[in-house]
Amino acid sequence: MPDVLLSNDDVTVLGPPNTVEVLVDIGPTGTRGSKVFVGSGEPNNLTSSGTIFGQSLILNDLYINTSPGTNYAYMYQYVSEPGGNTWIEILAVNPTLYSKLHTTTYVDGQASITIPISNIVTVTGSPLTASNFAVQYSISHTHAVASTVTIPALVAPGTNLVLNFKAAEYHPESGASDWIDLNEEVITHLFISVVEADEES
């Protein structure tokens, strides 16, 4: 027969308290997440002693360059490398800046398109000039079309980009000449990007 270890006629069952209080405002502040900085120029030239624009950096912070040129609209990430913390390029945020089909009316072979610069790019650094815009275009037509485009100097404060076109269509049925000035409404396919201006221009 086994030994008796505990003998008690009373059994007490305890339940949970009527109120449970949870405190959520106690504890140290955690490390902030990644932050996105936006500025004009290459971020390594703007960073000093682990700060940019007066704010402390942590690894994996991001930066977007808004300065026209080779690295316009590139995103950088702040990373640790053997030589120390640095910014590296990770992607082009907006490689295609402006692409649109414009209805264009030609009179005596000439037409003009005016585009607000704010529709193409927002620049917070150096002001843009006409040389900062690379324009590619084509004109939709049933005949072959020869054309040129010129960009006059931007008028201060440089709110609009003006494109002046001259065009002629190849029209062998015209009689006197195979080429005649364009005199009609056509569709112009536009692709505009912001580039670094040639120092000699």
Tell me the pLDDT tens digit for each residue of 126-180. Answer: 678 888 899 999 999 998 999 999 999 987 767 899 999 999 999 877 666 688 9
Within a domain: 199: no
Q: Note the pLDDT of residue 60.
A: 95
Looking only at the bridges linking them, the beta strands covering 185-194 and 133-140 are antiparallel
**Worst-scoring range by mean pLDDT, 32-41, 106-115, 166-175?**
166-175
Listed in sequence order, the residues at least 6 apart from 2 whose beta carbon sits closer than 8 Å to its beta carbon are none
Query: Containing H/E element for 45?
Result: helix 43-46
For residue 154, the enclosing domain spans 98-194
User: What digits encode the pLDDT tens for the residues 43-73?
Assistant: 999 999 999 999 999 999 999 998 877 777 8
Identify whether the C-beta of residue 164 lies closer than 8 Å to the C-beta of residue 152: yes
Residues 13 and 83 in one domain: yes
- For the chain, how many structural domains are there in total? 2
Within a domain: 200: no
pTM here? 0.58
Q: Note the pLDDT of residue 126.
A: 62
Identify whether the C-beta of residue 59 lies closer than 8 Å to the C-beta of residue 47: no
Within a domain: 88: yes
In sequence order, the β-bridge partners of residue 93 are: none
Closest to 62 (Cα-Cα) out of 74, 82, 77: 77
Residues 69 and 37 in one domain: yes
Residues 20 and 65 in one domain: yes
Query: Containing H/E element for 108?
Result: none
Within a domain: 64: yes
